[in-house]
Structure 1
Amino acid sequence: MKKLITLLFLAAFTVTVSAQNAVAKMEFKTDEIDYGTIQKGSDGLRVFEFTNTGNAPLVITKINSSCGCTVPEWPKEPIAPGKTGKIQVKYDTTRVGPIRKTITVLSNSDTPTKVLKIKGTIIEASR
């Protein structure tokens, strides 16, 4: 009986240790996108691609942008280990001038806060 209890304890301990070592890890191809110089009214959609290089599902809980002119969209379902995901960012290109905005990603990753950046310049459309 003592042996059985010891075996059950070891099995439970192993499962607990394995669960404690599970971690999601979000790795981006790039953390900054440069729009370059684009004309007013151009397509403002850009995509940040990432991979979950951890060993637990990755969940993005929230994304904040530094301005209402930058609208992010992200996967609401968990990203499995080894799988990729995309965060789409749409900038309002009707505003002429420089672009310098941040998008803050909150998740269950080993680094729970990640700041992404967009930059560029919007000029008046040529006639």
Structure 2
Amino acid sequence: MKNRASLLFALVLMLFCFSAQAQGVMTFEKEQHDFGNVPEGTMATHEFKFKNTGNQPIIIATVQASCGCTTPDWTKTPVLPGKTGMVKAVYSSAGRPGVFNKTVTVTSNAATPSTTLTIKGTVLGPEEIKASLTPAQKAMAPRLVLDRTAHDFGKMEAGQQPSARFTVKNTGKQDLLLGMITSPCNCVGYKKAPQPIKPGQSAVVEILYAQRQIGQMTDVATLNSNAVEGPAKLTIKANVVRDLNAASMVKESATAVPFK
């Protein structure tokens, strides 16, 4: 009886030890990334890759950035033992010149439940970027060429958000990364976030215009990127009216109509 009790105790102890050791282990390739110099207005993006070196699936519960300027993303499905996952950190550099050092905290069911990742760099304006590049770097840099720099929507109704398509070509030798669009009216933006443009390739970028003021409007928007030339300017024009149907009715009422 005593031997049976000892054997049972040993089995329980073994099961406890096994369950304690049965966990996923999140092993990152690196836990810190230095972007170096970042052109102001671009979205600095880095993927932290990890491997599950444990013996149980890893599920990421949350990823919390230290500030609103950093937008995280991560692998949403369970990462099985031996498989890889990622945590993406995106830093918005628009209007944030200078040095930055931000963290992203990953919470999961891994053996180490919380891991802190760090991104850092220095946001430079267009002139600072140019001054920091060597002739060889300038020769290898991406270059942005627009098919046109202006668009006139003609007559549009206030509250509408018409779109215009621009073709962007990268004539440089590195990937062209389009950053945020800024404008004094805060009424110009992307319809869909643009993807990196490979050297020698072109892409169609769709721009939304949300001008609510009434009248003949002309707005200049700045298209930020990592191009060596710096930001590009887009001129957007429109004749904004309160109601297109009402305007048509007024116009027709002013026209002489013969009696029938």
Which TM-score band (shorter chain)?
0.7 to 0.9
3-state SS, counterpart of residue 56 of structure 1: coil
* Gap runs ≥5 in structure 2: 1-7, 128-229, 231-260
1:89 and 2:89 aligned: yes
Matched residue, 1:51:
51
Matched residue, 2:112:
111
Give a deviation string over 1:66-122, Cα, whole Å, max 9, x none: 000000001111100000011111100212111100000001111111000000000
Matched residue, 2:121:
120
Number of equivalenced pairs = 121
Percent same amino acid at aligned positions? 38
After TM superposition, give the deviation of residue 42 of structure 1 in Å.
Answer: 2.8
Matched residue, 1:100:
101
Matched residue, 2:68:
68
Contact 2:38-2:44 at 8 Å conserved across structures? no
TM-score (norm 1): 0.84
After TM superposition, give the deviation of residue 125 of structure 1 in Å.
Answer: 1.5
Give a deviation string over 1:44-71, Cα, whole Å, max 9, x none: 1111010000000001111110000000
* Pairing 1:11-22 to 2, within 5 Å after superposition: 18-22=18-22
Matched residue, 2:238:
none
Structure with larger Rg: 2
TM-score (norm 2): 0.43
Structure 1 residue ranges (4+ consecutive) displaced by more than 6 angstroms after TM superposition: none
Select the structure with the greater relative contact order (CA < 8 A; seq sep ≥ 6): 1
In the alignment, the residues of structure 2 paired with residue 27 and residue 114 of structure 1 have an alpha-carbon distance, to the nearest angstrom, of 10
In the alignment, the residues of structure 2 paired with residue 19 and residue 76 of structure 1 have an alpha-carbon distance, to the nearest angstrom, of 25
3-state SS, counterpart of residue 44 of structure 1: strand
